[in-house]
A and B are shown apart, each in its own frame.
Chain A
Amino acid sequence: MKPPPLDIVTPSSLAEALSLLSAHGDEARPLAGGQSLVPLLNFRLSRPSLLVDLNRIADLAYIKDGGDHLAIGGMTRERAIEDSDLVRKEVPLLQEATTQIAHLPIRSRGTIGGSLANADPAAEYPAVVLALECELVAQSVRGERQIKAADFFEDVLTTALAPDELLTEVIVPKAPSGSGSAFVEIARRHGDFALAGVAAQITFSTGTPTDVRLAVCGAGTTATRLTVAEEIILQDGVGAEAIKAASDAAAQAVDPMSDLHASAEYRRRLVGVMTGKAIEKAARRAGVGV
C-alpha cells in the first residue's frame, strides 16, 4: 500500500510541465489533486516512473467570468468551485454536483481538470460537462485545442486527451434565464461513488421546456446524455406522464454493469428513478409546477 518507486518533478509554469510531458511520453503522468491517482499508485495499479506535479502552477487555478460563460482553470480545487458565489449564481448545476463529490477533505485537493481527465464512469463532473455542453481546453507543446464534452469521454478512464496533453481549462456556459437544474445521485453511503447519478438542465419558456439536457453517470463505461428522455420532455413537457415516460426511456437507454455494489438491473431502475427526480427538481427550481 505504498506507491511504486517513482520520481516527481514540480514545474512552476505550464510551459515547463508541457515540455516534461512531451519529453517523457507514456512514462510520465500528470499529478493534479491526486485523489484518484494516488490510491491507484498505492495499490500499484498504476506504475508511472515520473509524476509531473501540477500543484505549483498557480495560473491554472481560477474561476473567471467570461460574459456568457465561466472559464475554470484545470487545477481549480473542487472546494473552490463549491464555495464560489459566481458558480452558485451562474451555474448552479456545477455547484450542486460538486457538493456530492466524495467528502470535504477530498474536495480540498481534488480538481476539476483531474476529475475530468480521469474519466471515472461514476464521477459527477463528466455528467455535468455533458449536460452543460462545456468545451474542454487541452494544451500540449504542439499547441492548444478545444474539445467538446460530447467528444471527450471515450471509455472507462479513457478520454480524447493525448498522453502529452493537459486539460487546462473548462469553458462552462452560464445557465440561461428561465432554466432550472438538479444533480441527483444515489450512493450506499454519502461520499461513496454513485450507483447512479443524473444531471438535469432544463430551460423553460412560459412553462414549456425549450431546451432539455439530461446526462447520467455510474451506469455505463462513460457518462452519457439521455437523448431519448430529453426528446420526450421537450415534446411532452414536465407533467407526471411525460416524466414517467422519460424515466423509463432513460432506464432503457443505459447499459450498466453489475458489480459488488449493485446489479445491472438494479442500476437500470435507479437511473429511471434518478432521472424522474432530477427532472422534477429542475422544473420546480425554474418555477414550473410539476
Chain B
Amino acid sequence: MKAPRTVSLTVNGETLSGEASPRMLFADFLREVLGKTGTHVGCEHGVCGACTVIVDGVAARSCLMFAIQAEGADVQTVEGLADGDELHPLQKLFSEHRALQCGYCTPGMLMTAIDLVNSSDSLSEQDIKVGMSAALCRCTGYEGIIKAVTAYAEQVHGKPVKQESDNG
C-alpha cells in the first residue's frame, strides 16, 4: 500500500519522472529525487515561503503538497528562470536593488513575486508589500526586495506602480 509510486510531471518545460513514497513532500521530491536543489526548504509548515514554486500557473508551497499530488503538473522552479548565463529580468532587478544577502529565501521570493506580478496589472506599492509578506527574509530588511519587485511590476505592465500611504 505504501510502496513508492512513479510521479511524472513537467519541470521548467522538461518532462521528468521519479519515484516517491506517498508521504514524500513535493519539496523533497524536487530536491532529492529530481535534483532540483534550487528550491529551498525552510520551516516545512507553510510559513516561511522559501519552498514556493509555481504549480499549474500559480505559486504554491511545495512543503504543503505531496509529491504524488504533482502527477501531471506543470511546474516552474527557480532553475527555469535564467536562460543560460542570461538572468531573468527579476533576477537582474534583485541584483541591482541588493534584494538578497545570504540568498536562502531568494528562490521562494522570486517565484512568489512572479506570481504576484502576474496576478494583477494594477498593483500598488502596498499590494506588493502585502503580497511579498508571503515570504520571509532574515537578512535584507525587505526594502531592496520591495524595490526590485516594484521595478519588475513596472517593467511587466509598462506603467508606474501607484504609491500609497501604509495605513494598515
Contact = CB atoms under 8 A, between A and B. Distances in A.
Interface stretch (A34-42, A225-233, A267-275): A34-42
Given A6-B2, A7-B22, A191-B133, A105 B65 contact: no
Main secondary structure of the interface of A (DSSP, over half): loop
A8 B20 CA distance: 12
Contact of A103 (B55, B65, B66, B134): B134
B119 A42 contact: no
A51 B64 CA distance: 14
Contacts of A5: 2, 23
Contacts of A281: none
A17 B55 CA distance: 24
Contact of A39 (B60, B64, B112): B64
Nearest to A43: B45
Contact of B65 (A10, A34, A79): A34
A190 B130 contact: yes
B25 interface: yes
Contacts of A103: 49, 131, 133-134
Contacts of A51: 22, 66
Interface string A1-33: 111111110100000000000000000000000
B58 A8 contact: no
B23 A3 contact: yes
Contacts of B119: 104
A211 interface: no
Interface string B33-50: 000000000001110010
Given A39-B64, A104-B134, A105-B61, A2 B23 contact: yes
A42 B134 contact: no
Contact of B25 (A3, A190, A191): A3
A38 B23 contact: no
B68 interface: yes
Interface residues of B, number: 30
A189 B49 contact: no
A108 B44 contact: no
Given A2-B25, A109-B65, A190-B133, A104 B46 contact: no
Given A38-B46, A39-B46, A104-B119, A8 B66 contact: yes
Contacts of B46: 35, 38-39, 106
B44 A191 contact: no
A55 interface: yes
Given A6-B2, A8-B66, A109 B60 contact: yes
Given A2-B25, A7-B22, A106 B134 contact: yes
B61 A106 contact: yes
Size class of the contact patch on chain A:
20 to 34
B52 A105 contact: yes
B63 interface: yes
Interface centre among B65, B66, B131 (most CB of A within 10 A): B66
B15 to A, nearest CB: 20
A39 B44 CA distance: 7
Contact of B22 (A8, A42, A109): A8
Nearest to A79: B58
A242 B112 CA distance: 44
Contacts of B25: 2-3, 38, 42
Task: List the 9 shortest-distance A-B pairs measured between CB atoms, nearest first.
Answer: A103-B134, A39-B45, A105-B59, A1-B44, A108-B58, A38-B64, A8-B22, A3-B23, A190-B133
Given A38-B66, A108-B58, 20 more contacts: A2-B44, A10-B68, A34-B66, A35-B46, A35-B61, A38-B25, A38-B63, A39-B46, A42-B25, A42-B45, A43-B45, A53-B66, A79-B58, A103-B49, A103-B131, A104-B119, A106-B64, A109-B60, A109-B61, A190-B133
Interface of A: 1-8, 10, 34-35, 38-39, 42-43, 51, 53, 55, 79, 103-106, 108-109, 189-191
